[in-house]
Structure formats: C-alpha cells, structure tokens
Amino acid sequence: MSLSTRERSLDPDVTAPDGSEVRILAATSRGSMAQFTLPPRAVSKAVAHRTVEEVWLVTHGQGRMWRKLGDMEVTADLWAGISVSIPAGAHFQFRNDGEEPLHCVGVTMPPWPGMDEAYEVKGVW
C-alpha cells in the first residue's frame, strides 16, 4: 500500500470504452478515481460494466445520464453538484447538452481492471 498523490493531467490519459476522455487520478487497493470529459454536444456510447460499480460527481457543465438496471430505468439531468451511482451491470450512457465541456469525477470500486471491463449495450441516444 502507498500514500499516492497525483496531479490531474492536462491532456487525456486514455479514451474510455464509452468514448469519453479520461484523466486518471489517485487510486487505492479498493478503488480508483478518474475525471471523465465529454466535449460540447457529444454523446457517449452506451456501456455496462462486468464487475465494478461507480459513483460520479459532476464538477462542470450540463447534460444527462441514462441508466438501466433490470426493469429500473432513469434519465437524470446533470449539472455541477449532482452525483449518480452506476451499479455493476447497469447499462448507462451520458451526453453533454451544453456549449462547454462536461466534467465528471468518478470513483470505481474495485479499481478499474482494464478496457475489457466495459462492454457496449443498446443506448437511448
């Protein structure tokens, strides 16, 4: 175990399976954190996660997130200060409805295992 400190990069570290820009942040043995960014008017691909769950906090911008788990389905409006949960296996898709980038900080539990974790699903947009 370590006491990590990490500065957010200016450029994306990777592109998420959903197409959003990812800046990798601090992590521990039980969870990892990243910033997800969608450019103005962009829509992510719809995906689901095999084993991880996430919680997200919108830090800048506005948009919407669609989530579906079993027979539950909800679309939430997103703006700075809104947080959402994404349980393992939930289908989700998000979009930027504004003229500025949409930034969200997400925490993944357990830590993100790699690109094979997410798989594409049918979305709403």
Tokens 């830590």 belong to 111
Is the pLDDT at 1 greater than 80? The verdict is no
Contact by Cβ (8 Å): 94, 100:
no
Q: How confident is the prediction for the chain on average, in pLDDT?
A: 96
Position 85 in a domain:
yes
Name the burial class of residue 112, with classes exposed (0-12), middle (13-18) and buried (19+) by CB atoms within 10 angstroms of its CB. buried
What average pLDDT does this structure show over 82-90?
Answer: 98
Structure tokens at 124: 């709403």
Percent of the chain with pLDDT over 90: 96
Q: Which two tokens stand for residue 61?
A: 């911008």
Q: What is the dihedral of CA 98, 7, 18, 110, to 10 degrees?
A: -130
Compute the distance between CA of residue 91 and CA of residue 60 in angstroms, rounded to an integer: 23
Measured CA to CA, the distance from residue 110 to residue 57 in angstroms comes to: 17
Distance of CA 113 to the CA centre of its chain: 14
The answer to whether residue 69 sits within a structural domain is yes
pLDDT of residue 4: 86
Predicted confidence at residue 2, as pLDDT, reads: 78
Is residue 48, in this structure, part of any structural domain at all?
Answer: yes
* Domain that residue 94 falls in: 14-113
Domain containing residue 66: CATH number: 2.60.120.10
Global model pTM greater than 0.85: yes
pLDDT, average across residues 114-119: 94
